[in-house]
Amino acid sequence: MNIMLYTAVTLTITAILAGSIRADKADSPAARGLDAPADFFPILPWEGIRGEDLESVADCNFTVAGFVQAQDVPACEKLGLKAIIAPRKDFAPWRDKWVNVPDDVVDDSVKRMIEEAGKSNAIIGYFITDEPGTSKFAALSKAVAAVKKYAPGKLAYINLFPGYATIGAPDQSQLEADSYTDYLERFIKVVEPQMLSYDDYMVHYSDDFQDERRAAIYFTDLLEVRRVALEHGLPFWNTVCSNQIRPFTTIPSPANLMLQAYTTLAAGGRGLAWYTYYERGYDYAPIDKSGRRTDTWQYLRVVNGQLKVLGPIMNPLRSTGVFFTGPAPGKGLPLLPGRLVESATSRSSVRGLGDDKPPMMVGEFDSGGGSDYVMVVNLSLEKSANFQLNTRKSYRRKSVISAQDGTLSQFDEENGEWLVPGGGVLIQLSER
């Protein structure tokens, strides 16, 4: 995932505000493009995982074993992990870099990959490529069609560039498009994918949001991918950072790992990948060069455990809006009120020892009847936040959904609820 990091795509105000549109097309489990149980939420290490490390992947509360070889599928089955199959090194389209690859070569290569992997319910898909420019879309469309033909219900996994990759002509840029929106739209039109997956490491590149410009890019990318995905009735996955991505950036912490997970959920994301699992040139990764579990592994285990509880609960919910308390973390990002929430007030000290009001992100969701849901995220990576929620209509009950076991408890209207730095909470709003 080598990317040029300093050229940001400027999204129009219209496109950003569209991040709060209602989802007119279903983003239910049936639309995820996966032949998997309805309560399955993909959490994967964005990594080619060695067979001997699969147990540690399962222990870290991942649900997908990243990208594995066919011989590792039985171990995935035993450990209760799903698997995305990685092609062998002689995979012909890789050799030719997905440019000018004959259609029959693409079709045959994908067919052989599927046949060699065998039939297993643990297999949810096949790795196709990472960060393609638009010149590769034609060949990728053949690969996606081949997966649909030879392995119906399985995923043709393609991960896209972030919005801060370079734009412009094919010989001058990474996206090979005029804008990030153009890049995403062309990918959908040409490739006809089952989902959108992209990567974004701006939480770490911004030094935990100390660089406001880069912090804004994280959110504009998230909302633009969300907007385009909803517009086309597709689910989206976010690939975020679990290492020190560059020697000059901040390192993984419980706060920034939690924030990346909860902002993805609040935007309606249907899967999360962590880059990387192994150190291999990136310090502070979950597994160090000696194969030992690091502090990052321990932090990630906690965050993944919460995702494993909340993700399946959120699978049937329809994302209807994303909003922020003012000032928003980026120009043009939608502010409250939303459809469900009138306002959210926060404070770092209930005793008045400080007047900080940690910024909040609010995701709104429709269950299709019975209850509404909101997810509130503390965007401060430094201070805990006590918040109260003012809804646009009265609800009989507001319930906090435990990220440990999914049980409900009464929302504390009088004293407010607390969120640790980067933390989030899912709240059920019931009229009866």
Render each residue's pLDDT in the chain as its tens digit; 432 residues.
Answer: 433 332 333 333 223 333 333 333 444 443 445 678 889 999 999 999 999 999 999 999 999 999 999 999 999 999 999 999 999 988 989 888 999 999 999 999 999 999 999 999 999 999 999 999 999 999 999 999 999 999 999 999 999 999 999 999 888 899 999 999 999 999 999 999 999 999 999 999 999 999 999 999 999 999 999 999 999 999 999 999 999 999 999 999 999 999 999 999 999 999 999 999 999 999 999 999 999 999 999 999 999 999 999 999 999 999 999 999 999 999 999 999 999 999 999 999 999 898 899 999 999 999 998 899 999 999 999 999 999 999 999 999 999 999 999 999 999 999 999 999 999 999 999 987
Q: How far is CA 85 from the centre of its chain?
A: 20
- The structural domains of the chain, with segments of one domain joined by +, span 13-316, 319-430
98: left (phi over 0), alpha (psi -120 to 50) or beta: left
Q: Which residues of 307-345 are buried (b: 16+ CB within 10 A; e: fewer)?
A: bbbbbbbbbebbbbbbbbbeebbbebbbebbbebbebbe
pTM of the predicted structure, to 2 decimals = 0.92
CATH assignment of 13-316? Answer: 3.20.20.80
Sequence-distant (6+) residues with CB within 8 A of 410 are 397, 398, 399, 400
Sign of the dihedral defined by the CA atoms of residues 69, 70, 72, 77, in that order: positive
Distance between CA atoms of residues 99 and 329, nearest Å: 39
291 phi, psi to nearest 5 deg: 85, 10
Q: Are 16 and 34 in contact (CB under 8 A)?
A: no
